[in-house]
Each structure stands twice: as structure tokens, then as C-alpha cells.
Amino acid sequence: MNETARPRAILHVDMDAFFVSVELLERPELIGEQVIVGHPAGRSVVLSASYECRALGVRSAMPMSTAMRLAPQATVIEPHQEQYRLASRRIMSIFRDVTPAVQQLSVDEAFLDVTGSLRRLGSPPRIGQSIRDQIRSELSLPASVGIAKNMFVAKIASTRAKPDGMLVIRPDETVPFLHTLPVSALWGVGQRTGEVLARAGIHSVRDIAQTPPATLGKMLGSTGAKLYELAWGRDERAVEPVREEKSIGAEETFAEDVRDPDVLHTEFLRLAHRVAERLRRAGKLAGTVAIKVRYEDFRTVSRSRRLPQASSSAVALAESATGLFDALWRDGDAIRLVGLRAEQFSGGAGVQFSFERSDANWESAEAAMDRIRDRFADSGVKPATLLNRPAGGARAPEEKSDG
């Protein structure tokens, strides 16, 4: 078979309970126990849960109060985001050693098109198992792999391979495999769409495949035609190695409403450092800063401002963010959530340096902190202003991890 006629070989690799798995490297005595990663109080949400907790109904993004009612014996571990980011970078590096066609979906999940690597590395199952073995050997972390002829089926396969497994769906097995599944397995079928289909007596992927597209269209509009194609295993989308980010942001939901503007200024500085580090790692400079403020009554306000000079300095981002916030602040306000987002990117080259400490000098200092954290993940290095100042304690997951 020539190269052009060869079916595509797509892998979907998803780490298993990623945040929990990383934490257990330091807490091996908790392996096999009920473990939840998240902040234990207030409006906190679950960032990740061990499979022992998932068996009790605990899920990512669930309120911690609900999770603790379902799993009262669980050990709650505060998240260590820098450790997760460090592990993620090593995992993605392993993927890119296999193929340049890597589409990262989140901190712990990616599609790989290994079609061009088959002659060099062997069959898709061999490649998939090699990736799992390397991640286990180098990071001591479990990963699940789904292998199929397209992205859609590979994603389903990895989900059904969990935990710590691999499932291969060969091209000629694709339709029979799909037709054993419920409609909820298809992308685009949420609760509401599922209810519409159920009222029409459509409960399985096979039922969708046997329903005329025109009928599905009348029920679901353009979604109907897409579901019909998926029900027959048709998904020709290509793995996109580079997905250009249009913005980079971070948010904090407070355990209790905050009425002190000084506390909010500190929080904007914390968020600015999280965003600025991601900008520097992406080689980007932000031209615009935007903030989001949510009040106790859930009223939400957004404001943005163009920076005098594009920057990846947390100090520059924080100064603009606090200026925007101060223009909104009124005595007596109670704030539930604040967010900061960098937008209007430009490349990191050709920066016009300045003698102002908020410009090049701050960027150099912050880049030095990046290098220290890369080498010593537990260093805890941060600006003095943020030392011994915990975050709000109800952080929603900024990067997906529910594997």
C-alpha cells in the first residue's frame, strides 16, 4: 500500500487523573485511597479526583462541598499548579519526539497523527505502547491511549481505555464499534440534544446512523447532519500542531466575597504573574490587558486597556489591571471573582527597552524566576508581595484535567 492510500493513524493520549497522579508522586501512601485535589473550603471546586472517589460520584468542577458529602473520607490535597505545568511540558516533549503533528488540547491531553512515523517507529499500537511506557518510565505517571483512523474515534477509544489502558479501533472496526454506543458518546450530544433524540426514539449511535439526515436536520438543525456523519465514523479533520492563542488569562473565585481593595490589588498581581509566565513561555508580548469583575449579585463587568508598550511583564500587566479596577471600585462593593486576560499578541523579538523598572528590568527579573521554577519546581519563588498571601481558595480549573 502506498503512503497516500494508507489510512491515517491518530492517537489520543490522555493522562489519568492527572493532578491526583502528580500529587501521589509525593504522597505514595495515598495510592489506592480516596483523594481529591482542590481547595477544601468555601466555594472551591474539585480540580481532580482519584478513581476511588469517582466511583462515589465525585467529578472535576464539582463543588467541594458536594464532593465531601459524597466522599467524606477522602484526603483533600491543595493543588500545586507549577508541578502540573512542569510535568505537562515533559509529556508534550515526549509526544513531539514521536511526531511533529501534535495538537495539545489541555495540560494533560493531546492528539497525535503518527501516520508519517509508522515506517520509522512501527505499528500504531507499538507507538502507543511506547509512549505509555516512556511516560511511566520518565515521570512515573499513568496514561491512556486511544488509536483510530480519526480524531473523533480515537478520543472515544481513550475514554474507554481508562484507567491506564490502550484501546485500538482498526479502520474496519470503526462503524461496528460506534454502533454499540449510546448517543451521548457523540460530540455535540449534550443533555438537551439527548432529550430531543430520546423523544424520537433515538437512543444509540446505530439509531442515528439509520435515521435519514433530513429527519435529523428537522429535529436538530445543522447539528443533525454532523451527528449523522459521526455515526458512520466520518471525521476528516486534521491534527493541527499549532493552535494560535488569541488570549491568555487567569481567574480567581474567592472563598468569601472580598470588600478590601488592597486584597484585590494583590490578587490582580498574582493573576498577572500567572499570565505573564505563560506569555513568556509562548514567546508573546501582550498589547492589551482586560479584567473581569464579578460582584456578589453575580453582575459581571469587563474592561480593557491598551498597554503603552507591548509587554510580558507581570508588573506592567498588574499596573494596567489595577488601574482599570480602581476606575470601577466603589466603597461597599463585594467582589466574588476577578480575572485578568492578556490580548492583542505580538512576537517577543524587537522589544524597545526602557530604563523604567516596569519594563525591561522587571521582565528580566521575572524571566529569572521562570528559570528557577523550571529547575526547582518546589522552590516557591515569587514576588515578596505575594509571600504568605494565599489565593482566594476557590479556583476553578484553569486547565482541564479530568482524565
CB atoms within 10 A of CB 136: 13
| Catalytic residue from among 109, 267, 277, 319 | 109
Dihedral sign computed on CA atoms, order 151, 87, 288, 301: positive
Residue 119 phi/psi, 5° resolution? -65, -35
Active site residue 23: no
Taking the CA atoms of the chain, what radius of gyration do you get in angstroms? 23
Residue 162 phi/psi, 5° resolution? -70, 150
Q: Greatest CA span in the chain, whole angstroms?
A: 73
Q: Does 14 appear as a known binding residue? A: yes
How far apart are alpha carbons 104 and 173 in whole angstroms?
A: 26
Q: Enumerate the H helices of 40-190 as residue ranges.
A: 51-54, 64-70, 81-98, 118-121, 124-139, 151-161, 174-178
Report which DSSP code applies to 245: -
Please work out, in degrees rounded to the nearest 5, the angle formed at the alpha carbon of residue 391 by the alpha carbons of 374 and 333: 145
Q: ω before 261 within 30° of 0 (cis)?
A: no
Q: Do you know the residue count of the chain? A: 403
Closest by Cα among 150, 119, 327 to 239 = 150
8 A C-beta contact, residue 208 and residue 231? yes
C-alpha distance from residue 282 to each of 31, 146, 288, 364 (Å): 35, 28, 16, 16
Q: Does 108 appear as a known binding residue? A: yes
How far apart are alpha carbons 343 and 286 in whole angstroms?
A: 6
Long-range contacts of 55-62 (CB under 8 A, 24+ apart): 59/402, 60/397, 60/400, 60/401, 60/402, 61/396, 61/397, 61/402
User: Looking up cell 493520549, which residue turns up?
Assistant: 13
Please identify every residue annotated as catalytic: 109
